[in-house]
Amino acid sequence: MYYQQKQSPGCGGCLLIALLLTLILGGPSGLMSFLGTLVYLGFSGFLLFILLFWGFSYWVRQKAFSYQQSQSESHNRFVWLLINILIHIAKLDGKITREEVQTIHRFFQYNLRYNQTQMHWVKELIKEAANSSHPLDTLLQEIKSNFGYEPHLILLELVYQLLYTNESVSDKDLQTARYIATYLHISEYDLRTIEAKYRYGRSYSAAGSAYDESARHYATLGLQKGANAEEIKKAYRKLSMKYHPDKVRHLGDEFRAVAEEKMKEINAAYDYLTKQP
C-alpha cells in the first residue's frame, strides 16, 4: 500500500452559509451592513489593543523612572558603570550576541534579584552601553576615583560571577578580569581569593561529592590547603572586614546582599576548617 497525498480540503457548505446569512440579515444590504459592523469592531479592538499596550509601556517606564529617582546617585552610577564594563567584556570578540545580552539579563534578574521595574531600567542601560564606545580604562578610572576599595571588590566579584555563568570562560575574558583587578589596585590575595572561589566552585559542581570540599573552603579564604589555625583565623578576620555589608550600603540593597552572601561563604569556610581535626 502506498501513501497518497491528500488534497487540500474544500469549503463544503460555504455557499449555502453565505446564502443563509444573506436571507437572515435582510438581503445584500443587510449583509453589507453586518460586514461593515464587523470591520468597525475589529478596527476598534485593534486600536484598543494599541492603546492598552502603550499605556502599559508608559506605566512601566514611569515606574522605572521613579525607581531610578528613588536611588542614590552612587547606586545609579555604580550600576551604569557595572553594565558598561560587562558589555565591554561581551564585545571582546568584536560583537555582542543576543545570547550574551540574555546572560546579562539573567544575571541581574536572578543573581541580583531585580524585579520587572528594575529590569526595564537595566535593559535601557544595556541598549545604551551596547551603542557606546567608552574605553574600559575610562570606566575603571571613574570607579577608581569615586568608589572605595570595598566597592571595587564587589565589582570584581560580580565580573567573575557573570563570567562563570557561561559554560566555559575564555582566556581573553580572564585576562580582562585580571586587568580590571590590576587597574583598581586589587591585592594579589583578594584576586586569588575571588578567582579561586569560582574555579573551585565549578570543579566542585562537576565532580560532586567526590571532590575535596576542604580545598574549596581553603580557596574561599584565599589559603593553600593545609594552612594552620592561625593562618585561617587571620584570613577570616581580614575578609570579614573587607566584605562587611555596611561598607557597601551606599551602593544599594542588591549590592549589600552580594556582600551578605559573600560573608555567608566566608563564615561557612571558617566554620568548616576550624572544626577539622
Of residues 153 and 5, the one with the higher pLDDT is 153
**Residue 203 reports pLDDT greater than 60:** no
**Residue 92 reports pLDDT greater than 60:** yes
> What is the structure's pLDDT at 180?
95
Judging by beta carbons within 10 Å of its beta carbon (0-12, 13-18, 19+), is residue 140 exposed, middle or buried?
buried
Please choose, from the candidates 208, 203, 239, the residue with its C-alpha nearest in 3D space to the C-alpha of residue 223.
Answer: 239
Residue 23 CA to chain centroid, in angstroms?
61
**Residue 154 reports pLDDT greater than 80:** yes
**Residue 210 reports pLDDT greater than 50:** no
Work out the pLDDT band at 66, boundaries 50, 70, 90.
confident
Beta-carbon neighbour count of residue 42 at 10 Å? 10
| 140 φ/ψ angles, rounded to the nearest 5 degrees | -65, -35
> Whose grid coordinates read 492603546?
51
**Residue 177 reports pLDDT greater than 80:** yes
CA distance 191 to 157: 9
Beta-carbon neighbour count of residue 111 at 10 Å? 16
CA distance 273 to 276: 5
> What is the structure's pLDDT at 56?
54
> What is the structure's pLDDT at 267?
94
Q: Pinpoint the alpha helices (H) of 71-170.
A: 73-90, 98-106, 116-130, 136-146, 149-163
DSSP state of 108: I
User: Domain residues of the chain, as ranges?
Assistant: 27-70, 72-274
Q: What is the mean pLDDT of residues 161-166?
A: 82
Work out the pLDDT band at 87, boundaries 50, 70, 90.
very high
Work out the pLDDT band at 162, boundaries 50, 70, 90.
confident
> Do residues 165 and 104 lie in contact, with contact meaning Cβ atoms separated by under 8 Å?
no
- The predicted-structure confidence for 18-57, as pLDDT tens digits, reads as follows 655 555 656 666 556 656 676 767 766 766 666 665 665 6
Work out the pLDDT band at 6, boundaries 50, 70, 90.
very low
> What is the structure's pLDDT at 101?
87
Of residues 202 and 245, the one with the higher pLDDT is 245
Average pLDDT, the chain: 80
CA distance 258 to 190: 16
Work out the pLDDT band at 182, boundaries 50, 70, 90.
very high
Lowest mean pLDDT among 31-40, 120-129, 179-188, 202-211: 202-211
